[in-house]
Amino acid sequence: MKLISHRGNLSGPNKNLENNPNQVEKIVSLGFDCEIDVRTKDEELFLGHDSPDFQISFDWLTSFSDNLWIHCKDSITLSFLSNANSNLNYFWHDTDSYTITSKGNIWVFPGKPVPVNGVLVLPENIGLLAKDIDSSLHFGVCSDYIRDYL
């Protein structure tokens, strides 16, 4: 089962570290995948959930492409990444129950039933702890508490 850190969190939400490129690199170096929020502004790429907080390059994204789950925060970013010739794993969703990533994975909105090949997102938001998750039933889990899954 893929273990995916939500925005670079390891042991709970930390607004000061979320979507920080240095934190993302740390997460990847620890062996986790990482879900990040990417947006464009003035034809530049940024990490940030609610705003463009950390400027990054396309090369930075591709250098970590095997470990990133890229949540496009706007249609411009989605269009940009869909037109790029890359091996990036990206998706866009708002309140959709399910969305398919560019690599064919099912990203599941928190609290919705998870198909066998789906990614369980933020199980802690519906009261599920790591010990409650049967890893054989899911492709991956994305959590603010990803360290608990080791």
Locate all alpha helices (DSSP H) within the chain, ordered by sequence.
Answer: 21-29, 58-63, 75-83
Alpha-carbon gap, residue 37 to 133, rounded angstroms: 25
pLDDT band, very low/low/confident/very high, at 117 (cuts 50, 70, 90): confident
34 CB burial (10 A radius; 0-12, 13-18, 19+): buried
Check residue 106 and give its pLDDT: 97
Residue-wise pLDDT for 20-62, tens only, equals 999 999 999 999 999 999 999 998 999 999 999 999 999 999 9
Q: Please report which confidence band the pLDDT of residue 144 belongs to, taking 50, 70 and 90 as the band edges.
A: very high
CA-to-CA distance for 105 and 29, rounded, in angstroms?
23
What's the predicted TM-score (pTM) here? 0.96
Nearest CA among 38, 124, 24 for reference residue 76? 38
Amino acid at 144: D
Whether the predicted pLDDT of 15 surpasses 90 = yes
